Chain A
Amino acid sequence: MSQVHVTTKINGDSTEYLCDADETLLDVLRDRLQMTGSKEGCGTGDCGACTIILDGRPVCSCLVLGAEAEGRSVETIEGMANGEELHPLQRHFLNGAALQCGICTPGILVAAKALLAQNANPSETEIRYWLAGNLCRCTGYDKIIRAVQSAAAEMRGETHAA
């Protein structure tokens, strides 16, 4: 199988890689670029653990071919913190214990970030529907929803940093 040469932007950095034509972007990120923050839960687009932002939209990277990323903009969990400074969502997830095993957490953080980018003040219902494609088998979701709400409030300037 001939490999495809791809030039793309990942978390703002221009990146090049070779991948197989049938290789998913998730496998490229994890196995070729050693960016293992995005997780594979199901590999069929049901669990959301591999969520990335592709040209501004949250998508399952297990349902994107690596070859498709040519010339696109990819944002992953690795680009969420600013150096040592965690994103407000990351801080509120830690402080609110919105995770247990943590496998689903990167995907939920990335999906929640995409939500807050288009809706600074989502209702609980809007958060639950938006994150319906991010499965968590530990928390029961309530702490996740509350962490998103408190991070959103901080990002709106209504509360001080947690």
Chain B
Amino acid sequence: MRYESPTTVEAAVTLLANEAGKAHILAGGTDLLVRLRSGFIEPDLIVDLKRIDALKSITMESDGLRVGAAVPSAMLNEHADAVAGWPGVCEAAILIGSTQVQGRATISGNLCNASPAADSVPAMVAARAIARISGPQGMRDVPVEEIATGPGKTSLAKGEFVDSILLPKRAPGTSDAYLRFIPRTEMDIAVVGVGICVTVDKTGTCTAARVALGAVAAKILVVEAAAQALIGTKGDEAALNALAAACSAAATPIDDKRGTVAFRKEIAGTLAKRAAKIALSRAEKNL
């Protein structure tokens, strides 16, 4: 195995394109090193992104906030504009692992690891985040929900990697929230995760919503019926109950040691109600 730490995106693309064997990207490394040490993967080449200055930074662009693929969760949560503008994405990112993991783990890595239970992904999907992919054919921008195709599988072609994620600029009265359920208070994998982004008008009526569920299907689920249950309402009890019912109905979880199918379906609704309340109250403050 070779280790390379290029200083430009172009150099990283070239290294990956020229590698005949198996190549893996090292961003935060909190998933990659576990797989490497367990022998689950046997790379010929590891390309470390953390020497590429552009990918280590968070930049306000005209269309939103760009988060480089080498930005750890802790750094994202130290960025005042990120926390103020995208609180749901930031709170999801800072739920991943421990303090030590948060100092390394990245939202790009969380996305490309393609776990159905990834914490930051439902929040990013709700925020309509866009992944920027670099590869031998150049650059392309893809909605984050199109990256994972199933547990551990992505739509990235050989030689491609996510170099950054754009959190698109928000209309006034927009905000988000992420909640997850775990059996303990910290350091666990989501049994259910819910990301919700809403926009409200001056009367407090919801005019746009996006609801994404994690850990209840092979991929992150976008629940359009749940969004429709909120739109046109002020988040009253009837609307929240309809939202919860839509989330429970959409969830197609598995039974495992952390939760049964019935439990996960119910919790998906309960968490969606709570997350919607938080997102709505944050959105009203952004008018």
Stretch touching chain A among B30-38, B151-159, B192-200: B30-38
Say yes or no for B122: interface residue by CB 8 A criterion.
Answer: no
Say yes or no for A64: interface residue by CB 8 A criterion.
Answer: yes
A63 to chain B, nearest CB (A): 5
- Which residue of A has the minimal Cβ distance to B104? A59
Stretch touching chain A among B93-101, B221-229, B244-252, B256-264: B93-101
Q: For B98, what are the chain A residues with a Cβ–Cβ distance below 8 Å?
A: 45-46, 48, 60, 132-134
Instruction: Determine which residue in A44, A60, A115 has the highest number of CB atoms from chain B within 10 A of its CB, and name it.
Output: A60
- Which residue of A has the minimal Cβ distance to B50? A68
A157 to B100, CA, bound (A): 28
Q: Is the CB of A63 within 8 A of B99?
A: no
Q: For B103, what are the chain A residues with a Cβ–Cβ distance below 8 Å?
A: 54, 57-59
Q: Is the CB of A45 within 8 A of B34?
A: yes
Q: Is the CB of A65 within 8 A of B100?
A: no
- Which residue of A has the minimal Cβ distance to B186? A132
Q: Is the CB of A132 within 8 A of B187?
A: yes
Interface mask (A59-74 → B, CB under 8 Å = 1, otherwise 0): 1101111011010000
- Interface size range of chain B in the complex: 20 to 34
Stretch touching chain A among B1-9, B203-211, B273-281: B1-9
A3 to chain B, nearest CB (A): 10
Known: A45-B30, A62-B33. A1 touches B1 (CB 8 A): yes
A136 to chain B, nearest CB (A): 13
A18 to B189, CA, bound (A): 36
Q: Is the CB of B3 within 8 A of A48?
A: no
Q: Is the CB of B97 within 8 A of A65?
A: no
Q: Is the CB of B1 within 8 A of A63?
A: no
A62 to B98, CA, bound (A): 14
Say yes or no for A41: interface residue by CB 8 A criterion.
Answer: no
Q: Is the CB of B99 within 8 A of A132?
A: yes
B24 to chain A, nearest CB (A): 11
Say yes or no for B48: interface residue by CB 8 A criterion.
Answer: yes
Q: Is the CB of B46 within 8 A of A21?
A: yes
Say yes or no for B254: interface residue by CB 8 A criterion.
Answer: no
A21 to B32, CA, bound (A): 14
A57 to B98, CA, bound (A): 12
Known: A45-B101, A51-B100, A129-B186. A57 touches B5 (CB 8 A): no
Q: Is the CB of B99 within 8 A of A22?
A: no
Known: A129-B186, A133-B101. A44 touches B37 (CB 8 A): yes
Say yes or no for B74: interface residue by CB 8 A criterion.
Answer: yes
Say yes or no for B72: interface residue by CB 8 A criterion.
Answer: yes
Q: Is the CB of A133 within 8 A of B104?
A: no
Q: Is the CB of A21 within 8 A of B100?
A: no
Question: Of A46, A65, A111, which one neighbours B3 at CB under 8 angstroms?
Answer: A65
Q: Is the CB of B100 within 8 A of A67?
A: no
Say yes or no for B26: interface residue by CB 8 A criterion.
Answer: yes
B120 to chain A, nearest CB (A): 17
Say yes or no for A130: interface residue by CB 8 A criterion.
Answer: yes
Interface mask (B2-33 → A, CB under 8 Å = 1, otherwise 0): 11010000000000000000000010011001
A10 to B26, CA, bound (A): 23
Q: Is the CB of A133 within 8 A of B187?
A: yes
Q: For B37, what are the chain A residues with a Cβ–Cβ distance below 8 Å?
A: 24, 43-44, 62
Q: For A2, what are the chain B residues with a Cβ–Cβ distance below 8 Å?
A: 2
- Which residue of B has the minimal Cβ distance to A57? B103
Say yes or no for A4: interface residue by CB 8 A criterion.
Answer: yes
Question: Of B36, B48, B97, which one neighbours A22 at CB under 8 angstroms?
Answer: B36
Known: A2-B2, A22-B1, A132-B187. A58 touches B100 (CB 8 A): yes
Q: For A114, what are the chain B residues with a Cβ–Cβ distance below 8 Å?
A: 99
Q: For A46, what are the chain B residues with a Cβ–Cβ distance below 8 Å?
A: 98, 187
A13 to B30, CA, bound (A): 27
Q: Is the CB of B33 within 8 A of A65?
A: yes
A65 to chain B, nearest CB (A): 6
- Which residue of B has the minimal Cβ distance to A72? B50
Query: Apart from A4-B3, A70-B5, what are 4 other A-B pairs with CB-CB below 8 Å?
Result: A54-B103, A57-B72, A59-B100, A133-B99
